[in-house]
Amino acid sequence: MSAEFELTRNITIGQYLPTGSVIHRLDPRYKVTAFVIMILAIAVCNTYLGNLFALAVCLVMFRLSHIPLHYGISGVKPAVPFIIILAIMQLLFYGEIARGGTIYFQYGFVTISSEVIRLVVVSAMRFVEVIFLSSVLTLSTSTTELTHGMERLLGPLEKVKFPVHAFALIITIAIRFVPTFAMEMEKMMKAQASRGADFGTGEWWRIVKRTKDMFPIIIPLFNVALSRAEDLILAMEARCYTPGAARTRYAHYRATPKDFAAVGICMILAIVMLIIPW
């Protein structure tokens, strides 16, 4: 109950946990590359054993980065209903698509075979693995590093006139302001609660009432967001930010053998994941 308004605690996106581990100190460009390789491997891997292996790899990464596992688990929690709904859908409607295997049960359009079960279990595991991996990445990399890394990796796209820098900037600002607005929202909820407001206590079918209950928070939040945006523009212009102009960078990244090793290890892990039978 005392955590009624502690919104900021529940938001792990954009949160950075500086433990100074090996994974924290990797060059962000290579870290993002390694991360992309792992995600792709997880997306393709569809064996039980391969996914168990991937899950184990995730746990090892938590260990290596000195990040408490409950951070990853708290990221999974909100996704649980979604995973369950997905599992039910797949169980009911995927009989036609995932053909083969032993058929355990068949009635009308519902076909439950070993292949369908494999699909259900594997997608649930994939979900958890992807959340774990992205938690490790975001918790071990500050948002600045992350966007620098992405900007560099997207660099080649500049040749086809893709506004890489602007894109990276938008992402940085968006991520940077998530915790800020969470804080603003928390403050607003507290202020309105002090005036007798209550949120989300109405019955769920009274959607209009529940939406109206949110007005006292949403409207001020928009106001704050707009005025913050104006402040940000002024602050950027005061520091001579010119859209589209070439900019030098404060942080220079130089890859070390460790970074190459990290990408190499991830590649090997990815291949192992894909060639594991069963």
Residues in contact with another protein by the rule CB under 8 A: 1-2, 4-5, 9, 17, 19, 68, 187-188, 190-198, 215-216, 219-220, 223-224
Closest CA to 62 of 50, 76, 45, 44: 76
Angle subtended by helix axes 80-93 and 114-140, to nearest 10: 160
Distance of CA 143 to the CA centre of its chain: 12
Name which of 67 and 168 has its Cβ closer to another protein: 67
Instruction: Determine the Cα–Cα distance for residues 116 and 37; give it in Å rounded to an integer.
Output: 26
Burial of 121: CB neighbours in 10 Å, binned 0-12, 13-18, 19+: middle
Q: How far is the CB of 220 from another protein (least distance, A)?
A: 5
Q: How far is the CB of 195 from another protein (least distance, A)?
A: 4
CB 123 within 8 A of CB 129: no
Name which of 106 and 223 has its Cβ closer to another protein: 223
Can you read off the two tokens belonging to residue 222? Answer: 């928009």
Q: How far is the CB of 136 from another protein (least distance, A)?
A: 15
Name which of 17 and 276 has its Cβ closer to another protein: 17
The backbone region for 249, taken as left when phi is positive above 0, alpha when psi lies in -120 to 50, beta otherwise, is beta
Q: How far is the CB of 8 from another protein (least distance, A)?
A: 9
Q: How far is the CB of 213 from another protein (least distance, A)?
A: 10
Name which of 90 and 140 has its Cβ closer to another protein: 140
The backbone region for 196, taken as left when phi is positive above 0, alpha when psi lies in -120 to 50, beta otherwise, is left
Name which of 96 and 198 has its Cβ closer to another protein: 198
The pair phi, psi for residue 85, each rounded to 5°, is -60, -45
Name which of 53 and 199 has its Cβ closer to another protein: 199
